[in-house]
Amino acid sequence: MSQLVIQIDDKSYLNATNKTPKQVIKNLQITLNNNEFVCLVGPSGCGKTTLLNILANLDTQFSGSIELQPKHIPPKVGYVFQNPRLLPWRTVRENIQLAADARPETLDFLLEIMGLAAEKESYPEHLSLGMSRRVSIIRAFATDPDLLLMDEPFVSLDPPTSRLVRQLLIDLWTKRAHKVLFVTHDLREAITLADRLIFLSTNPMSVISEVAVTIPRNERSQEMKIEQFRQQLFIDYPQIAELL
């Protein structure tokens, strides 16, 4: 059992013209529990991608710490970007294996759950956007990360496809649980997926509220339940209305 403890005291960018620093994140504290699925909800431009890039070690220019505890070691991270970023000259299988040296049975298991077993030797140009998104999710899971980062991975999918991919993601996460940090600006999507919602402020970004989603997972396909929960959130936490 491990927790991921995120503490970012300061993240600033230098203004390109006058070189003055602009603080994007200030005193942000988030703790992720074992196998927990957490959705980050905040306005566009508040610093969510900046946070994910720091967690993925793509950006080291910040003050603070990110540690798996109790061991106090950096986490192994999988990252699902908005754009699937598949190599067009590689097959589905090769795209996944380039990122993770997964055993053939692991690869087959992941492809099977995500409904892509028949596409194993296909090239990305033959896949729909929804399929490509599923390949990028498998690629991230195949690395067996301590932490899976997902940056609005279902943007621009049509509603039936995003429902399907969300359900497949949860099926996969249920079987191979990891800590997931999922960025979305879609509150219904967040309620459908998350164990816990974290609402973020802008200028600079910090945590406004944390809310556990209490709807049982086997009732999350009922849109009525999601909508009731969403309406209640606005009553209990009126400050979140301006974030969305």
Question: Which residue ranges make up the site for ligand ADP (CB under 6 A)?
Answer: 13, 24, 42, 44-50
Q: Kindly tell me which of 45 and 70 has the beta carbon lying closer to ligand ADP.
A: 45
Q: Kindly tell me which of 54 and 140 has the beta carbon lying closer to ligand ADP.
A: 54
Phi, psi (degrees; rounded to nearest 5) at 25: -130, 135
Q: Kindly tell me which of 47 and 84 has the beta carbon lying closer to ligand ADP.
A: 47
Task: Write down the least CB distance from residue 211 to ligand ADP, Å.
Answer: 19
Between strands 21-32 and 3-14, the pairing is: antiparallel
Task: Write down the least CB distance from residue 193 to ligand ADP, Å.
Answer: 18
Query: Which DSSP state fits 205?
Result: B
Q: State how far the Cα of 144 lies from the Cα of 43, in Å rounded to an integer.
A: 30
Nearest partner of 85 among 12, 135, 148, judged by Cα: 135
Q: Which amino acid is present at 10? A: D
Task: Write down the least CB distance from residue 219 to ligand ADP, Å.
Answer: 30
Is residue 80 within 8 A of residue 165, CB to CB? The reply is: no
Q: Kindly tell me which of 144 and 186 has the beta carbon lying closer to ligand ADP.
A: 186
- Pair of tokens at residue 216: 């049982």
